[in-house]
Amino acid sequence: MTREICEVVITADNADWLVEFSRRLVGDRLAACGQHIAAIRSVYRWDGAVQDEPEARVALHTRVDLVSRIVERANDEHPYDVPCVLALPVVAANPAYVDWVLAETEGTSPDR
């Protein structure tokens, strides 16, 4: 993993809500940035039936050690009963970009 950063994917049925949630995470330095895709289509099983729904998606860039705090915030604030929050490893990246992500989330870890 590249110096302890990752990409956290979150989906929601309301693109505006997801942008505001991302703004709060960036404002609180839990993520360096959020890259949004306003229109995706999700197919999944829920309550015993296959669903096919429009959603929005964000890819947040953050420190690995902040993922649990992002999951906690999503569980508290997300309109879904079970929000999709996935942390994906970064196996290679521009070192200067990694430095930027680390600097933008600096001081947010309990270990720092």
The predicted-structure confidence for 61-81, as pLDDT tens digits, reads as follows: 999 999 999 999 999 999 999
CB 5 within 8 A of CB 31: no
With b meaning 16 or more CB within 10 Å and e meaning fewer, what string describes 36-62? Answer: eeeeeeeeeeeeeeeeeeebbbbbbbb
In a domain, 31, yes or no: yes
Q: What is the pTM of this model?
A: 0.91
43 within domain boundaries: yes
Number of structural domains in the chain: 1
71 is a domain residue: yes
Position 109 in a domain: no
The answer to whether residue 112 sits within a structural domain is no
Tell me the residue range of the domain where 36 lies: 5-104
- Specify if 72 maps to a domain: yes
Dihedral of the alpha carbons of 100, 20, 1, 90, in degrees to the nearest 10: -90
pLDDT (tens digit, 0 to 9) for every residue of the chain, 112 residues total? 557 999 999 999 999 999 999 999 999 999 999 999 999 999 999 999 999 999 999 999 999 999 999 999 999 999 999 999 999 999 999 999 999 999 999 875 444 4
